[in-house]
């Protein structure tokens, strides 16, 4: 499985996400749309003056975690999380607005999810709380329906550590909640009826600890996120009686935290360089594509740089797709840190 890169164009900045219309890019405190090679300034992220000065230096951007780490487009509004709060930007009002302050110890969720047009669910933006939670207190799912934020489900104390993601499944009219981190906390949960009914679906071990999951018509695909065990890419099939069958597809060199679903049967994801406790076997962030035939292709990779991962972030890559191009934004790597690599779309 060779690396497929071709000609690479570099774009300065932090890749937030992409769609067929445009890319969304952050550069220091400024937020841009990137449309067919042209930048369009949208708004400035409101940081304190001292922080705006420090983030002119790349290492301070990494140390202070000033990049947007959760983002979703919802009709004519953008929601994004940064520096301990959830914000929105309306194209009608043309200015950012603080929506919600996160609980103590929480900087941002790992993702924001837009549920739209699903049977049994109101249209809504939602997220799961992600924080250290050493005490194993209750963990909440927040939702915005009709402009108001409220808790729609709470995991009781000593059930999970935190929530890694929320993924809608339009094929089965349900939502998957991904949780971690210890064996008994690592589950893929199934939510139905506007999060009123939540049940365990797959899990109870490190093989079910994941952040990236893709529903497909005949199965579910997910990649594990464990520093303790061999990480793998799994396929979960659903039998006629409703039971599940989990099959390992590929071994992965390290944990997977970041991914991107651009099409129905095409999944992009990147491995992460973090401290090894048994499951991290490479010092490079690798971007893969799993195609519709469940064949795995290595797209591009970059080695972790020499800065301490605890303070200056793990090595990883964000992925987006727009206008027939694949975009990969690396963090804490030697060659491409703070840059976005533009690649030709193979599909």
Does residue 143 share a domain with residue 196? yes
CB-side exposure of 252: number of CA atoms within 13 Å? 36
Q: Which pair of structure tokens corresponds to residue 245?
A: 């069958």
Tens of pLDDT along 260-280? 986 778 999 999 999 989 989
3-state SS class at 62? helix
Lowest mean pLDDT among 160-164, 192-196, 216-220, 258-262: 258-262
What's the CA gap between 308 and 285, in Å, rounded?
15
- Domain with 120 in it: what CATH number? 2.120.10.80
Q: Please give the C-alpha separations between residue 208 and each of 101, 203, 226, 345, in angstroms, as whole numbers.
A: 30, 5, 9, 31
In sequence order, the 6+-apart residues with CB closer than 8 A to the CB of 248 are: 232, 233, 234
With cut-offs at 50, 70 and 90, classify the pLDDT of residue 346.
low
Q: Residue 238: give the domain boundaries.
A: 1-22+205-347
Last residue of a domain, one of 152, 187, 204: 204
Phi, psi of 305 (to 5 degrees): -80, 180
- What's the structural domain count of the chain? 2
**Together in a domain, 95 and 184:** yes
Q: Are residues 197 and 104 in the same domain?
A: yes
Query: Do 316 and 304 meet the contact criterion of CB atoms below 8 Å apart?
Result: no
**CA 296/CA 290 separation, integer angstroms:** 5
Kindly state whether residues 209 and 326 are assigned to the same domain.
yes
Position 347 scores a pLDDT of: 54
- Which letter, b or e, does each residue of 33-68 get, where b requires 16 or more Cβ atoms within 10 Å of its Cβ? ebeeeeeeebbebebeeebeebbeeeeebbbeebbb
Same domain for 197 and 87: yes
* pLDDT confidence of residue 234: 97
Query: Residues 130, 211: one domain?
Result: no
Q: 15 exposed, middle or buried (CB, 10 Å; 0-12, 13-18, 19+)?
A: buried
My answer on whether 190 and 234 are in the same domain is no
* pLDDT tens sequence across 42-98: 999 989 999 999 999 999 999 999 999 999 998 889 999 998 999 999 988 888 999
């Amino acid at each position: 499985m060779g690396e497929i890169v071709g000609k690479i164009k570099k774009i300065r900045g932090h890749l937030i996400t992409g769609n067929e219309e445009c890319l969304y890019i952050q550069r220091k405190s400024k937020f841009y749309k990137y449309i067919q090679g042209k930048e369009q300034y949208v708004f400035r992220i409101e940081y304190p003056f001292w922080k705006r000065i420090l983030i002119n230096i790349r290492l301070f951007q990494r140390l202070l975690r000033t990049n947007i780490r959760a983002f979703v487009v919802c009709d004519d509004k953008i929601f994004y999380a940064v520096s301990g709060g959830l914000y929105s930007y309306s194209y009608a009002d043309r200015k950012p607005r603080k929506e919600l302050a996160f609980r103590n110890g929480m900087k941002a969720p790992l993702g924001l999810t837009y549920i739209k047009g699903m049977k049994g669910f109101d249209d809504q933006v939602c997220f799961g709380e992600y924080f250290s939670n050493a005490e194993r207190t209750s963990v909440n799912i927040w939702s915005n329906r009709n402009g108001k934020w409220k808790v729609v489900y709470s995991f009781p104390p000593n059930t999970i550590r935190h929530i890694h993601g929320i993924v809608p499944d339009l094929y089965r009219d349900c939502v998957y909640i991904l949780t971690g981190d210890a064996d008994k906390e690592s589950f893929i949960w199934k939510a139905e009826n506007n999060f009123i009914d939540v049940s365990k679906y797959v899990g109870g071990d490190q093989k079910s600890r994941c952040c990236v999951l893709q529903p497909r018509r005949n199965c579910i695909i997910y990649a594990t996120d464990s520093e303790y065990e061999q990480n793998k890419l799994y396929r979960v099939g659903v039998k006629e009686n409703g039971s599940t069958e989990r099959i390992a597809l590929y071994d992965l060199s390290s944990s997977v935290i970041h991914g991107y679903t651009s099409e129905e049967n095409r999944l992009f994801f990147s491995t992460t360089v973090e401290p090894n406790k048994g499951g991290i076997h490479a010092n490079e962030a690798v971007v893969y594509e799993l195609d519709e035939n469940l064949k795995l292709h290595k797209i591009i990779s970059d080695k972790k740089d020499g800065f301490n991962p605890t303070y200056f972030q793990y090595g990883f890559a964000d992925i987006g797709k727009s206008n027939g191009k694949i975009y990969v934004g690396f963090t804490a790597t030697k060659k491409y840190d703070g840059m976005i690599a533009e690649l030709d779309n193979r599909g």
